[in-house]
Structure 1
């Protein structure tokens, strides 16, 4: 039996991965916008992003727009593939046909 990816399987990380996977490949979102969409505290979101970052599923990029610090978050190719594999495994476990 195939197992679900434990990095993505946590509810908060699944929501983060699904949100980032809805973006076009190569697109990114600001940390505050992601926080708003997911209705998560900054600390909670940061903790879960760190786990996804450690697995190389997301990239967190800190830059400046003018003098304003800005943090962008994007899904890596590896992260997109992991999410696709996760959803495929979930469908299989639920007995859905592709």
Structure 2
């Protein structure tokens, strides 16, 4: 285990000592518990933020796929309409092959 030496504001050492006694721990154990909980809480909050961001991105992606699908459907309909019109035009054109031989 690593060792660190820290300076604390006046009065904080006594607060840590009282809290350590109340929790049946050494002062080092109490400080370590505080640091672990704080760092774990910050990590948990960051994970929640990232999960929310992922959810938002998934919704945006689903929306983009839906828009792409609509656009693809419109394009296919337009292509089919164009092919139908070309067929109608080529059938109606004078001199166009009639299919009768």
The one of the two structures with greater contact order (alpha-carbon pairs below 8 A, sep at least 6) is 1
TM-score > 0.5, shorter chain as reference: no
Higher helix share: 2
Tell me which structure has the larger Cα radius of gyration. Answer: 2
Q: TM-score, normalised by structure 2?
A: 0.28
| Structure with greater proportional strand content | 1
